[in-house]
């Protein structure tokens, strides 16, 4: 496996939300998301790590992480651009094509041959699927009024937000 020692030479899937949504302005978020989406389209899923300099995965597996879907959801909420609905549709189609198994969904063990592991992390159901659902449920309270009253925890649980305090 080729590795570049420059820490800015790769991304890790866990950094996506920070890089896309939380770090900069909306224009930077849109551009960074487009880069991640092009990587998703190239492999059908998102590698756990990707090296920018050699333009190939440095972590050749996909454990069904939610961060790319989460970033897509927040960009749609911020822009209302239907492009992000298209992105999520692609994500759902690829998840069904590459990772769906008889009893759920499975981690992609190898991006090259799309072999699967007999493993589905709990965050797939609690976060990945929740953000996919919310993106398409336009009438959901969290999408209509919730932005003014709720925030999401790192586990995608909505929390009531009142000034400087949180209620469970």
Give the span between the Cα atoms of 159 and 3, in whole angstroms.
Answer: 40
pLDDT band at 83 (very low <50, low <70, confident <90, very high): very high
Query: Total domain count for the chain?
Result: 1
- Whether the CB-CB separation of 32 and 40 falls below 8 Å is answered with no
Would the pLDDT of 160 be above 80? no
Q: Is residue 90 included in any domain, yes or no?
A: yes
Q: What is the mean pLDDT of the chain?
A: 79
User: Looking at per-residue confidence, does 118 or 54 come out higher?
Assistant: 118
DSSP H or E run through 86? helix 83-94
Q: Is residue 143 included in any domain, yes or no?
A: no
Give the span between the Cα atoms of 82 and 50, in whole angstroms.
Answer: 27
Would the pLDDT of 103 be above 70? yes
- The pLDDT assigned to 35 comes to 87
Question: Which pair of structure tokens corresponds to residue 141?
Answer: 């309270």
Compute the CA torsion angle 37, 42, 47, 52 (nearest 10 deg).
-80
Q: What is the pLDDT of residues 24-43, one digit of tens each?
A: 678 888 888 898 899 999 99
Q: Is residue 145 included in any domain, yes or no?
A: no
Average pLDDT over residues 37-52: 91
Question: Which pair of structure tokens corresponds to residue 61?
Answer: 């597996």
Q: What is the pLDDT of residues 120-138, one digit of tens each?
A: 999 899 889 988 988 888 7
Q: Is residue 124 included in any domain, yes or no?
A: yes
Find residue 62's DSSP bridge partners.
108
Domain of 46, in residue numbers: 7-136
- Percent of the chain scoring above 90 in pLDDT: 38
Is 79 annotated as a binding-site member? no
Please give, one letter per residue, the 3-state secondary structure of 119-164. Answer: CCCHHHHHHHHHHHHHHHCCCCHHHHCHHHCEEECCCCCEEEEECC
Catalytic residues: 48
User: Looking at per-residue confidence, does 21 or 136 come out higher?
Assistant: 136
User: Looking at per-residue confidence, does 84 or 27 come out higher?
Assistant: 84
pLDDT band at 5 (very low <50, low <70, confident <90, very high): very low
Residue pointed to by tokens 């790769």:
10
Q: Is residue 35 included in any domain, yes or no?
A: yes
């Amino acid at each position: 496996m080729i590795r570049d020692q420059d820490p800015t030479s790769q991304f890790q899937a866990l950094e996506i939300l920070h890089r896309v949504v939380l770090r900069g302005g909306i224009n930077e978020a849109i551009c960074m998301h487009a880069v991640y989406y092009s990587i998703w389209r190239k492999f059908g899923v998102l590698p756990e790590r990707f090296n920018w300099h050699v333009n190939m995965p440095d972590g050749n597996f996909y454990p069904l992480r939610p961060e790319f879907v989460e970033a897509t959801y927040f960009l749609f909420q911020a822009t209302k651009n239907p492009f992000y609905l298209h992105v999520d549709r692609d994500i759902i189609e690829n998840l069904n094509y590459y990772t769906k198994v008889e009893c759920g969904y499975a981690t992609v063990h190898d991006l090259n041959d799309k072999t699967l592991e007999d493993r589905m992390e709990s965050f797939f159901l609690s976060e990945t699927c929740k953000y996919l659902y919310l993106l398409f449920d336009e009438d959901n309270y969290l999408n209509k009024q919730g932005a003014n009253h709720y925030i999401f925890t790192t586990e995608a649980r909505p929390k009531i937000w009142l000034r400087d305090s949180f209620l469970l």
